[in-house]
Amino acid sequence: MVGSSKATRARAIAGALVAGSVLAACAPVDAPGQEGEGDEAADTGTDSEDDGAERGIDEDATLRYGATIDASRLDPHRASSSTDNVWLWPVYDRLVHISPDGEAVPGLAEEWEFSDDGEELTFHLREGVTFHDGEPFNGEAVAANIERGQTVEGSAVAAQLGLIEEVEVMGEHEVVFHLAHADASLPLVLSDRPGAMASPAAFDEDLDHQPVGAGMYEVVDHAPDHEVVYERYDEYWDPESAAVARLEMTVMPDDATRLNALRSGQIDLASIEPRQIDEAEQQGLVVDVVQTLQLGTMQLNPENRPEFADPLVREALHHAIDRNGIAEGVFADEVTPTVQPFPPDYFATDPDVGPDLFPHDPDRARELLEEAGYPDGFEFELYSVTIPSQLQVAEVLADQLTEIGLDVSIRQFEGIVMIDRFYGEQDGDAMFMTWGGRPDPSMTIDLLYTSDSFANPSGLTSEEIEELHSEALATIDEEERADLLRELSALVAEDSQSMVPVYNAVNVAAANEDVVGLEPWIFIREFRGLGMAAD
């Protein structure tokens, strides 16, 4: 995508999201699919990639990746942030995988189907798979992992697995999930951390530092807060996906540091910020932009700051924010201002609810605060990670909220510390973050807007939201479910709950010309098929 215009990039963004159909979220899969096949957005259109393909892939190569944030944990059931997936997926396969455009595709399960009433989900497992410790992957391993995810101390996936009442092992390669109720989102839920499979023989070991999965790569070195080194697992069931012999992932939270490391050849691939696109292209780097399921949002905790429990106060916050100014000033207009949790052209987004639902209007915001009984405002602390672009947004938000009479102080954290503190310890008044999105929209609603969610510390919700959410989960028909999800997206926006969306984020990947197989992922980037060109 070197030298492409914003208009060209926008077409690729729209194509990726339209391709993530409702069918992928709830229909049974009968045969292995090809990730990204037929999707315009999956073709970066770069000369360097074509040249690399003609040169072939160096199977002995090392791919070096610069990550913006460290993993909270390498234990997939206790990891607390979707950004952890970048670190987890090289070592852990899931029952279901997800394609770059968001479709459910076979992983450790080759196919699956719901019963007619939606209360049973049968998985047909891949044969001949082993974990890195040599233990077999089979039905008993699936049952053990689901039980662990439901019960292990500190589980971040227990709520998402709560509807599974029993995993019935029908044989080595077939299991039936008996569900408390129908849940159309479950296949894509299991493409995320709830469906990650670790070796049961390693459950009593320290998976945070020595993970044991059935994925493409094994961890051979782990320096927390700095680097994880992976090497190819030679017995992996899909050897073409493990396209390099070694993968080195290094924490580089500073945007300029990552770009400089790319230019100097210290790393091969990294995410960069939209404002760095022109600079990267001028340096001859391959640049790929795609609209993602990520959301730049301010999350409130009324449990610690009771003022946020008042809907008038929350509405005032919405009106105080200049979303267009943030999109232009911080992100060079590459992100999309929004009040919904999902991006434009996504099947769960209500097209009739635009960011003008809450136009930037400081005067109206001050009126709402006075009506709520806070004519002189109040003070609160806003958490932010130290990543420069996100910290800049937090600072802009603080300035805009100060204009309506609020006293906002910013407290900076490393990313994993902030997530653990706000979610795990349920501490803090408010947090600005980039929500990493989830493979299925019901997962996002469940985590951010329901009363018993790990990611909604105060439990702020409404009866209407929870009822509509339950109805969408129980609806197996994809068209009916899409209608319900769009209605739900509009409802959580209009009700002004504890999430104050600001923009839908894009992912900008930059790579040197030797990287082969670079594709835009609307969810979290994976390294399947990503390799280095032979000399």
Question: Which residues fall within 8 angstroms of residue 116, CB to CB, at 6 or more apart?
Answer: none
The reported pLDDT for the residue numbered 415 is 67
The reported pLDDT for the residue numbered 54 is 57
Say whether pLDDT at 261 is over 80.
yes
User: What is the per-residue DSSP string for 144-205?
Assistant: HHHHHHHHSTT-SSTTTTTTEEEEEEEETTEEEEEESS--TTHHHHTTSGGGB-B-GGGTTS
The reported pLDDT for the residue numbered 37 is 32
What's the average model confidence in pLDDT over 497-507?
92
Which of 37-46, 317-326, 476-485: highest mean pLDDT? 317-326
**Distance (Å, whole) CA 246 – CA 227:** 13
Which of the pair, 50 or 496, is modelled with greater confidence?
496
Residue with tokens 């409130």: 300
Considering the chain, what is the average pLDDT of its residues? 88
Say whether pLDDT at 13 is over 60.
no
Contact criterion met (CB below 8 Å) for 47 and 373: no
Q: Please, which residues bridge with residue 385 across strands?
A: 413
**Distance (Å, whole) CA 277 – CA 273:** 7
Domains of the chain: 69-203 (3.90.76.10), 295-505 (3.10.105.10)
Say whether pLDDT at 1 is over 70.
no
**Distance (Å, whole) CA 178 – CA 247:** 38
What's the average model confidence in pLDDT over 44-65?
67
Q: What are the pLDDT digits (tens) for 143-192? A: 999 999 999 999 999 988 999 999 999 999 999 999 999 999 999 999 99
Question: Which residues fall within 8 angstroms of residue 484, CB to CB, at 6 or more apart?
Answer: 468, 471, 472, 475
The reported pLDDT for the residue numbered 95 is 98
> With bands split at pLDDT 50, 70 and 90, how would you rate the model's confidence at 123?
very high
